[in-house]
Amino acid sequence: MTREQYMRRKRLRLARNWALLILICAAIVALMTRGILWLLPKANALLAGPRSFEAASYSGTGYTFDADDARLILVNANLPFAGEPSPTLAPANEDGTIQLEAEAADAYRQMSAAAAEDGVALVLSAGYQDADARTAAYEAQKQQYLEKGKTEEEAASLSADIQLPAECNEHGTGYAADILSSDYPDRDTGFDTTRAYEWLTAYAAEYGFILRYPEDRQAATGVVFEPWHWRYVGTENALAIRASGLSLEEFLALQKAS
């Protein structure tokens, strides 16, 4: 091999080595850049804290009240069922063990999926209940008061503040849904401290659900604050009711008087 050939081969090896080094450096930079881009939003989220859920504004323009809308049926201690309802039902939760009225079931499934995208795992703990189930729930609540030494009359009155009698319990309509979360499975007022409750308060109306027994409307509803109890009324109705700040009883009374 001549010196000229040796030098040419040496230059080629050097060029190849530099090319390999540049490629390796470029690959390292690309990986680092991708890692930084992946890490930045997560670090920002950690520093910024949990995302707040805020309801979109609702003007009410174009809202028309329909007194014959079946989704606005009012059931309470003063307005019991005239007869046992027979709603068209559909599975609402993932395993199909809980049913709601068909339109409400579809709305709940959409709402649950949207919540999941925001990192909130909703859990439907109760939906439609037949007369036997509603009676059993009321009797169980009343029995708790009887065991505490209350009279039959006192137990019945106290129970109705929490668990209405079967003929007054809107779970028979198929529109009532008890909603909790995977990290808070208990039906008590502590649910209002959860991210799930925050999410529902902000967005449930967009899927047709309202908080049925708000904390500051007990005088109107006759039922204590139940942050887990939501009621399907249809999206336009729900948005109008949420914007009013009224309970279902008050909203319907106001609309019918208009």
Regarding whether 208 and 122 lie in a shared domain, the answer is yes
pLDDT tens by residue, 185-210: 999 999 999 999 999 999 999 999 99
> For residue 149, is it within any domain?
no
Q: Is 57 inside a domain boundary?
A: no
Neighbours of 198 (CB within 10 A): 16
pTM of the model: 0.79
Q: Are residues 1 and 125 in the same domain?
A: no
Determine the structural domain holding residue 224 and report its residue range: 70-129+169-257
Q: Among candidates 221, 220, 162, which has minimal Cα distance to 189? A: 162
Is 95 a domain residue?
A: yes
Indicate whether 106 and 195 sit together in one domain: yes
Whether residue 89 is found in the same domain as residue 206: yes
Window from 22-26, 173-177, 201-205 with minimum mean pLDDT: 22-26
Residue at 75 is within a domain: yes
Query: How many distinct structural domains can be found in the chain?
Result: 2
Angle of helix 248-257 relative to helix 235-244, nearest 10 degrees, comes to 100
Confidence class for position 48, pLDDT limits 50, 70, 90: very low
Determine the Cα–Cα distance for residues 233 and 140; give it in Å rounded to an integer: 28
Kindly state the average pLDDT of the residues 6-32.
Answer: 74
Same domain, 4 and 100: no
